[in-house]
Amino acid sequence: MTKPTVAAGPSTLLDVAREAGVSPSTVSRILNGTARVSDDKRQAVMKAIARTNFAPNLMAQGLKKGRTHTIGIIVQDISSPFFDETLHGVDDGLKGTGYASVIVTGHWSALEEADRIRLLLARKVDGIILLSGNLPDEELLHFATQRPIVVTGRALDAPNALGFTMDNEHGAYLAVQHLIELGHRRIAFVSGPPSHADASSRLRGYRKALEGAGIPVDPALVVEGNFHENSGLIAINHLFETRQEFSAVFAANDQSAYGVRLALYRKGVRVPEDVSLVGFDDLPGSAFTTPPLTTVRQPLYDIGLTAITALLRLITGDRVPTRVPPVELVVRETTLPRQ
């Protein structure tokens, strides 16, 4: 029996051609999908690739087609579990595609986001995903003339650019409506930065739910936060220092809710017996807090998966409608009827 040929060093296209009994050009056309050959010949080449451990040079192939098989991804906070879960969806969407990702951080700064996009364009990425951010649409559309761009956190539909958002206002409305139905009237709100579109939308949802129930909006119960745990702790301390009465707290995101929970614990206030608490996002850890957090679920994984699927379609010149599951209230153990 003839022993299969295996190259001593890295195998080449020529090694595969010899093993399969075809020309190097036939192997090349089969690899790039342009060959019109019989199934038997195609199978012979694929088996030869396996026997010789041949690894196609994707970069070289990509450069011939004007592609590098890399995707640029801009997150706002690399340490945030929000972006971590979204990136999980992006990563799963890249599996089996031959693409790799380059991740950079925008730090919620339009100037930094623009700088990072220029950096990624200089690296010849095939497309860019901007996860949230503050870069104006007109600048984003300018960059999209050079490479396809998908952005989350805003609605956008233009040539070579696509954006989609979640209904943050409705999600906040669901959270506050839940507390109102439990009999709460003095509901504090730890907001996000007013410069963030999703934070502004959640503030509108908070106000809408109160006004719809005939409950006056008390500005003293609204404390600006920064979407981080420390802002929840600071907000509760501020409410106590200013002697505000409240029986429930709605935090603009789960991370802020974690800080709220810690502050209440330190003051001897029980959750949910004394104060009910609702967050927003449904981060993976929120089901394991003490007690498990009632929150508004954003399909973070699906947001990432939808973004990368849409971008890969844009790269190939195809456009499909983006569909992401809606936000929903997840009731756990941090809310009770008002005592």
**339 residues of the chain, pLDDT tens digit each:** 444 444 445 677 788 888 888 887 777 767 655 556 777 887 888 788 888 877 666 555 555 556 788 999 999 988 888 899 999 999 999 988 888 999 999 998 999 999 999 999 999 999 999 999 899 999 999 999 999 999 998 889 988 999 999 999 999 999 999 999 999 999 999 999 998 889 999 999 999 999 999 999 999 999 999 999 999 999 999 999 999 999 999 999 999 999 999 999 999 999 999 999 999 999 999 999 999 999 999 999 999 999 999 999 999 887 777 788 899 999 999 999 998
Question: What per-residue confidence (pLDDT) applies to 224?
Answer: 97
Superfamily of domain 13-61: lambda repressor-like DNA-binding domains (1.10.260.40)
In the chain, what are the domain boundaries?
13-61, 69-166+300-325, 168-297
Question: What per-residue confidence (pLDDT) applies to 42?
Answer: 77
Q: What phi, psi does 52 have (nearest 5°)?
A: -95, 0
Alpha helices in the chain (DSSP H): 13-20, 24-31, 39-52, 58-64, 81-94, 110-122, 137-144, 168-181, 197-212, 229-241, 254-266, 300-315
Question: What per-residue confidence (pLDDT) applies to 306?
Answer: 94
Could you name the CATH architecture of 168-297?
3-Layer(aba) Sandwich (3.40)
Question: What per-residue confidence (pLDDT) applies to 183?
Answer: 98
With residue 164 as reference, give the H or E element that holds it: strand 161-164
Question: What per-residue confidence (pLDDT) applies to 182?
Answer: 98
* Number of C-beta neighbours around residue 2 at 10 A: 4
Question: What per-residue confidence (pLDDT) applies to 98?
Answer: 83
pLDDT tens-digit readout, 11-62: 777 888 888 888 877 777 676 555 567 778 878 887 888 888 776 665 555 5
Q: Do 307 and 152 form a contact (C-beta atoms < 8 A)?
A: yes
69-166+300-325 and 168-297: same fold? Answer: yes
What would the two tokens of residue 283 be?
């981060």
16-49 burial: b if 16+ Cβ within 10 Å, else e: bbbbbebeeebbbbbbeeebeeeeeeeebbeebb
pTM: 0.78
Q: Which residue type occupies 34?
A: T
pLDDT tens-digit readout, 164-201: 999 999 999 999 999 999 999 999 999 999 988 899 99
In this structure, which topology does domain 69-166+300-325 adopt according to CATH?
A: Rossmann fold (3.40.50)
Question: What per-residue confidence (pLDDT) applies to 297?
Answer: 97
Question: What per-residue confidence (pLDDT) applies to 56?
Answer: 62
Q: What phi, psi does 153 have (nearest 5°)?
A: 90, 5
Question: What per-residue confidence (pLDDT) applies to 214?
Answer: 97
